[in-house]
Amino acid sequence: MDVIEASNIVKRFGELEAVKGVSFSVKEGEIFGFLGPNGAGKTTTINILCTLLRPTAGQAKVNGHDVIKERSQVRQSIGLVFQEPTLDDYLTAEQNLRFHGYAYGVPRDVLEPRLKELLEMMELWDRRKGKISTYSGGMKRRLEIARGLLHHPRVLFLDEPTLGLDPQTRRRIWDYIHDLRKRENLAIFMTTHYMDEAENCDRIAIIDYGQTVALDTLEKLKDGVGGDVISVKTEDNEEAVRLLEGQYKFKPGIENGIISFTVSHGEEFLPQFVSGFPLRLLSIGLRRPTLEDVFLKLTGRNIREQEVDSMQQMKNMARMRRH
């Protein structure tokens, strides 16, 4: 069963067309990654799916409910964790969760055991009576995930769930997410900027300039790059590039003095290339393509390279520290 069905979503803000007809579906129990450079339309799409924005055109259903006509059923079926914290700093962790439980109409006899279960899972049970203002960034994020799950949603939206967190906390949050999916057959819809994190997804949609440019499993996306990535360093890189383009008909790229290009069946290609190449090779390597290569090929951009990105991240971190 599909818990999210989006068909041809369009969102215009005046002149600007932020989303230009995005379609996809998310299955029950699936971890679905939504990737794209900043300003590609990711947040707009999420806001449409969680009823914060109305689409200009197109249709979307979450858990079988229309996001325009059945907003409150949609809201009841989803849990959300935003990039920026949305907790009440003046209340304790427990009070924040209870507020959420009351707001979503969770019956009292369900609420208390559920609250305990989630706080224990997120390792926050001992700190449940602590005010949020005393929580660290990682604790806040874990609490928000717990809160998003309190009312037994069918889909959990995670917008950059580990942004600004240290590697250890990131790994732990990922352990919880996998655990959750197993326990509750929950679908997870997430955005991230971390390529290594996207590897946790069952399927990935890459969106650029408001359009889906790819949607597949990670393996298939990598295959789409065209086999294996060969990287070589030679005594004369310029000449090597010329040779690779002319004689071998590759499309080599050069970065930090290393030339890389893709070939199918890299293992078989390698010995024959080494013996036949006229220039002296200083080093040669072969690797499977990463999501980074996929991204670069499809959008022509490196996902983290933009200036805006790091600025945004600094802002987020400053924000988290302030709280």
The encoded tokens of residue 277 equal 């190449």
Phi, psi of 266 (to 5 degrees): -60, -40
225 binds another protein (CB under 8 A): no
Measured distance CA(84)–CA(82) in Å, rounded: 5
Distance of CA 28 to the CA centre of its chain: 17
What track of x and - describes contact with another protein for positions 3 through 42 (by CB under 8 A)?
A: ----------------------------------------
Distance of CA 62 to the CA centre of its chain: 19
68 binds another protein (CB under 8 A): no
Measured distance CA(237)–CA(102) in Å, rounded: 65
Measured distance CA(17)–CA(40) in Å, rounded: 11
Measured distance CA(142)–CA(161) in Å, rounded: 9
Residue closer to another protein (CB basis): 304 or 323: 323
Residue closer to another protein (CB basis): 31 or 80: 80
Min CB(50)–another protein separation in Å: 6
Q: CB within 8 A of 54, min separation 6: which ones?
A: 48, 68
Size of the site for another protein (CB under 8 A): 28
Residue closer to another protein (CB basis): 104 or 174: 104
Min CB(90)–another protein separation in Å: 5
Q: Pick out residues in 87-116 that bind another protein (CB under 8 A).
A: 87-91, 95, 99-100, 102-105
Residue closer to another protein (CB basis): 91 or 284: 91
The encoded tokens of residue 203 equal 């399927």
For another protein, the binding residues (CB under 8 A) are 50-53, 72, 75-76, 78, 80, 82, 84-91, 95, 99-100, 102-105, 131, 147, 323
